[in-house]
Amino acid sequence: MNRKILVTGGAGFIATNLIHYWRDKYIQDQLIIIDNLGFASNIDNIKGLIEDKKIIFIKGDICKAKLLEDIINEYSINYIINMAAESHVDRSIIKPDDFIYTNIVGTFNLLEAFRIYWERNGSPKEWRFLHISTDEVFGSLDLNQARFNEDTSYDPRSPYSASKASSDHLVMAWYHTYNLPVIISNCSNNFGPYQFPEKLIPLTIINCLRGQPISVYGEGKNIRDWLYVLDHIKALEKILIKGKTGSKYCIGGNNEINNIKLVSLICDMIDDQLPLRDKRKETLIKFTKDRPGHDFRYAIDSTYIKSQLGWEQKITLENGLEKTISWYMQNKEWWEPLMAKLK
């Protein structure tokens, strides 16, 4: 089938990596990208593909229902990968309305625009609406609790995770009510090239390189499960092509580590390449007041996607960090202008 794929949030971190990967591998597919070029988006991520006419880019907001209807009709969209989202917990605490609007209203608009077009074309079973979500919708784990899986109850703790949980529920409601061919993926923390420098790993790398303080919440004991972005993209590829509609797939990295150990590891890895008189982790790491409602631990059990679709994560935390550090060291001209946004 000739896939005409609408990727929302296409100038963001994970979507950028997916678009480059997909364009290289599936040259027959048409990729239409929409992004409002908000705070964490960067058109330079995909500028070369736009200029070479390898993708079609539309600057627009998924909260504008008419725009979505026009795009879906004009380009005969039969696949949607919804990656558009406000995703930073700290900013969701300060200004939650942006998260409610984009993550809930925007997802609703996409579902409705796609449903109407899908029904008008005879409700083809092979069409897909893939909704990219997060492990944060499941809440927080204690140290000895079993990892999240597809049957874990939702228990969001922040405005961000609550808005994503709401969008997940909408997606499944459109499956049960209208039989729309939807799939949801819930993924652990990603890292890798093109990640906006407000996030922990790129910000730690950049501050290490610049000799700037590295802030760690509380005592740094909060645990996250990290997944290198290319492994995530390959999971999404399998889900989109082989996944079962109405299903959820949990994607984890099997790389649990607490924040202080992660930050210290990054400092050590950069010290090995660019040694200073004093170790970076001894001079740069500063502990700050903890985030309100800071979830203690996230961890994902990927048994289902491994058994059903044959996906496996390939890149270890250390190897992924080596690749990521190298990318940020070689792409100062990409991240340096973005740091001004964080001031």
Catalytic position from the list 135, 225, 231, 301: 135
Please, how many CA atoms are within 13 Å of residue 71, restricted to the half-sphere of its CB?
28
Catalytic position from the list 136, 231, 256, 295: 136
| Whether residue 160 lies in the annotated active site | yes
b/e sequence 40-51, b meaning 16+ C-beta within 10 Å? bbbeebbeebee
Strands (E), the chain: 4-8, 30-35, 56-59, 79-82, 128-134, 182-187, 189-191, 214-217, 223-228, 248-251, 256-258, 285-288
| Whether residue 217 lies in the annotated active site | no
Is the CB of residue 140 less than 8 Å from the CB of residue 77? no
CB-CB neighbours of 303 under 10 Å: 13
Give dist(CA 146, CA 142) in Å, integer: 9
Catalytic position from the list 160, 175, 249, 298: 160
| Whether residue 136 lies in the annotated active site | yes
Taking Cα atoms as reference points, which of 183, 321, 301, 306 lies closest to residue 252?
301
Structure tokens at 91: 């900013």
Is the CB of residue 55 less than 8 Å from the CB of residue 33? yes
Give dist(CA 222, CA 55) in Å, integer: 40
Enzyme catalytic residues: 135-136, 160
